[in-house]
Amino acid sequence: MKRHPLIWLSGAQPALLERTPGDRPKYQGIGGAVLTTATLAGVSMFFALQMALRAPWYAALPISLVWFLAILNLDRWLVVSIQRGNRAWLVALPRLLMALLFGFIISTPLVLRIFQPEIETEINKIRQEQTERFQGDLTGGEVGKKIDALEKQETALLQTIASGGTVLNPENDPQIVALRERLKPLEEKRDENADAATCELTGDKCQNGSRKSGAGPRYENFRNKQREAEREIREIDRQIQDRRDEIATASKTSREQTLREANEALPGVQTQLKNLRTIQSDAQKDFEQANEENTGLLVRLDALNRASTGDFTLGLWRILLFLLFTVIECLPIFVKVLQLYGPPSTYEQLAEEDAKRSVTSGKIRAETHEQSLELEQTAQLGQSRALVEAREEAARRLGTMTVEAELRVAAAILAAWEEREIARIPQNLDEYVTSTNDPIVEPASAGFDEPAVTPPLFGPNAPGVMPYYAPAFDEEARRRAETEGSQR
């Protein structure tokens, strides 16, 4: 019987399809759908590995083949496991959901590949935006602020050195610059409190006041804050003026000292500036490299979303292609589920009857096997009983033979003893005559309730008694022989 690969993928039984040739194309179509979904899954994995990991084709190809085989077997199992029954939809529902999940996952790389030109354009825009954002963070960050301050200090020192020790503009002095920075918030605080005091006193310049004119507690509070701010401003102005005077005096009295100090401070400032610029440059290079290598699935999905947000045509075709690939991936399951709600085909009827016959024959084989086991166990039990009985019979016979042997040995010993004792009679006659007297009954006056007897001829203490013979044989055999003898 010739086997067809598509028939195997459909999960149908070739032997039954030979009897129903009309159903053969149907199952070939199901097998073809399984093969198609697995092929698309392998291609999708190939594109995903190249986009996400930048894997070369010779590394992505074997992984894609493994994924192809995995989806092939999974789809085949899903198709075979859905069978017709009273609650077939309960069995089919989780398998359909699983197929949809895999369809969504597999469809995404294919859609990204189709819209690759639009995605690349949008990725460039995303990179540019990220670069500008990074530049702003780099300039406005701590390192950028330090670089800006050091550049101003370097400029002032260079001007001092170029003028021969005379500071051309006192406003570029770092101390004066710092004092000017402190003035700004104080001036804003002074003006705010002055407006608030005016609002409380006259009702003008009101924003959040009580809008009641008159010199009340709120007016005095704002005036006190205004005076405090003005006092701090005057103090800073005095410090600025003092610094100006110091610079002017130093410029007039010690141009050489100023020049020497500037020359000494300039290398340190330039070294710090160089280190900070190096740090900034390295951070810029690392960002640019990471930004250039950011070509994975996430940034591509983001780019596709941004590109399709403002473009109706692109968004529509994106959805349609995604649904198309998803439906193709779920096609074997859809076909199998739809097949359940139609009338059963000839192949399905034959398959159901074959399954029933298989169940019946399986039960018969199980019962036959159980009966054979019982017969075998019975035979083994009978054999064991026969073996026990045979061993008991052998033990009885062995006991009888042992007792007979003991009797023969005892008889031989007794005959030899008799012959020896007869030979000794002439030499020991008096001893034997004394030992072999009949028992003598003593009179009752002797004080005994029962008559006393002399030791018998044969006894353990009699002279010339025959030695006691104790044969060494199995006690159990002796017991069995005695029991058998008593029964006989």
Distances in whole angstroms, Cα of residue 4 to Cα of each of 9, 13, 25, 32, 332? 9, 11, 11, 11, 18
Lowest mean pLDDT among 9-18, 247-256, 361-370: 247-256
Burial of 131 (0-12, 13-18, 19+ CB in 10 A): middle
Domain-wise residue ranges, the chain = 5-114+310-342, 141-294, 370-423+477-488
Q: Which residue has the tokens 């042992």?
A: 402
Q: What is the CA radius of gyration of the chain?
A: 60
Q: What amino acid is encoded at 386 in this protein?
A: A
Residue 94 — very low, low, confident or very high, per pLDDT cuts 50/70/90? confident
Distances in whole angstroms, Cα of residue 370 to Cα of each of 356, 360, 376, 377? 21, 15, 10, 10
DSSP letter string over 228-251? HHHHHHHHHHHHHHHHHHHHHHHH
Are 68 and 106 in contact by the 8 Å Cβ rule? The answer is no
What are phi and psi for residue 442, nearest 5 degrees? -80, 155
CA 193 to chain centre: 65
Burial of 133 (0-12, 13-18, 19+ CB in 10 A): exposed
Does residue 128 surpass a pLDDT of 70?
yes
Query: Which residues make Cβ contacts (< 8 Å) with residue 83, sequence separation at least 6?
Result: 91
Question: What dihedral do alpha carbons 162, 167, 171, 172 form, nearest 10°?
Answer: 40
Query: Which residues make Cβ contacts (< 8 Å) with residue 382, sequence separation at least 6?
Result: none
State pTM to two decimals.
Answer: 0.45
pLDDT digits (tens, 9 = 90+) for 394-430: 888 888 899 889 889 989 998 898 888 888 888 887 7
Does residue 352 surpass a pLDDT of 80?
no
What mean pLDDT value characterizes the chain? 76
**139-155: average pLDDT:** 81
